[in-house]
Structure 1
Amino acid sequence: MLRIVTTAILIALTASAGATEAGWALLREGEHVVLLRNAMAPGASEPANFDIEKCSTQRRLSERGKLQARKMGALFAARAAPTERVLSSRYCRTLETARLAFGGAEEFAALDPPAADETARKQQIEAVMQEIRGYSGSGNFILVTHLETIQALTGQTAREGEAVIVAPEGDGLKVLGRIIFN
């Protein structure tokens, strides 16, 4: 039984490493869109006193998350993955991820977690899709956001600090690759 479990873990790790290498190959070409989930931040929801204007009332990056964000930036540079534009949710953990990895980002409210109101949610997702469809740079376009936003856009999940490489397809997005930053 131990042998089966060990083999399954090794297969999963090998597949993950292969997917990450394929993702880097895409990003070296440039001209790709990357949905990047914020780096590691403890907790699962915002505190009751949450205020978008005050970082002290929000979930923040852990020390491990700060290291992870720095590693992201270092790997983008080392892997020659050109970055042209970076947008971020207004939440402090996404802005800090963008600052530590890429030196900063433009705030873009549509990258905040999707609104509870269905009409507002659709408008928010459409605003993100317009940015993605309108991108025509030669480097990569990075959007630092949240799990819920990535799920709303792709129907897939992402780990903290995971990059999901996407391209517009019809009314939605097609996932082209992934990069896992541990």
Structure 2
Amino acid sequence: MLPKNIDRRHLLVAGLAAPWLSAAAQPAPDAQALLQAGGVVLALRHALAPGTQDPPNFRLGDCGTQRNLNEEGRAQARRLGAWLAERGLHPARVRSSPWCRCLETARLAFGEAEPWPALGSPRAGSDSANAAALIQLRGALSEAAAHPGRFEAWVTHMFVLSALLNVGTAAGEGLVLGLGADGAPRLLGRLLVA
């Protein structure tokens, strides 16, 4: 249980480790310091978009057929962008799932978004396409890890992050990713701006 004088949201923003948080929610070292050091990816789940799935017959490129951010989600994405900008943290590259809720999250937080199908929802793909996307993501993470002093931002879906790391994420939560000694993706820190 969280002590009464500590707000869990502030711990996640700071990236402080705390034994009373569950393993899935426990942040690693300071997310800000990790991003400043670079050689990492800030992989974000899109901001709040009420619901659980896209409507039947949704179409990429047609936001009217998809589940989208609500006003709270838009405010959440703006807060994330402001938090990073206030600390002088600017990604060298911003990639996003081509789904509208991810693109909008990226554009509100960072002012730009490069659509990248590898970050797309695996719920819309075949098993072979999803496996190929994971290989692309691991390769891009390896490339990002080779560049200390800079970081990339990726905006994607809960299912992509779960497939990559086997962890859950909240709407708008960021995972700071690096590589383990074995070359596999490794969770280094978590970031959730309240």
What's 1:178 paired with?
Answer: 190
Query: Is 1:107 the counterpart of 2:115 in the alignment?
Result: yes
1:129 is aligned with what amino acid?
R
User: Structure 1 pair 6/130, CA: closer, same or farther in 2 (3 Å)?
Assistant: closer
Distance 1:80 1:34 in 2: 15
1:142 is aligned with what amino acid?
A
Percent identical? 33
TM-score by length of 2: 0.83
Whether the 8 Å contact between 1:69 and 1:161 is mirrored in structure 2 is yes
From 12, 17, 22, the equivalent of 1:16 is: 12
TM-score by length of 1: 0.88
Query: Is 1:118 the counterpart of 2:127 in the alignment?
Result: yes
Runs of 4+ with deviation above 4 angstroms: 8-15
Distance 2:152 2:162 in 1: 18
User: Structure 1 pair 151/8, CA: closer, same or farther in 2 (3 Å)?
Assistant: farther
Aligned-pair Cα RMSD in Å:
2.2
Distance 2:7 2:65 in 1: 41
Residue ranges of structure 1 left out of the alignment (5+ in a row): none
Distance 1:119 1:65 in 2: 32
Secondary structure at 1:176's aligned position in 2?
Answer: strand
What's 2:21 paired with?
Answer: none
Query: Is 1:94 the counterpart of 2:94 in the alignment?
Result: no
1:168 is displaced (CA, Å) by 2.1
From 30, 43, 47, the equivalent of 1:35 is: 43
Distance 2:113 2:2 in 1: 41
Query: C-alpha deviations, 1:120-151, integer Å up to 9, x for none?
Result: 22111101111111224432101100000000
1:11 is displaced (CA, Å) by 7.6
Number of aligned pairs? 178
User: Structure 1 pair 139/58, CA: closer, same or farther in 2 (3 Å)?
Assistant: same
1:119 is displaced (CA, Å) by 2.0
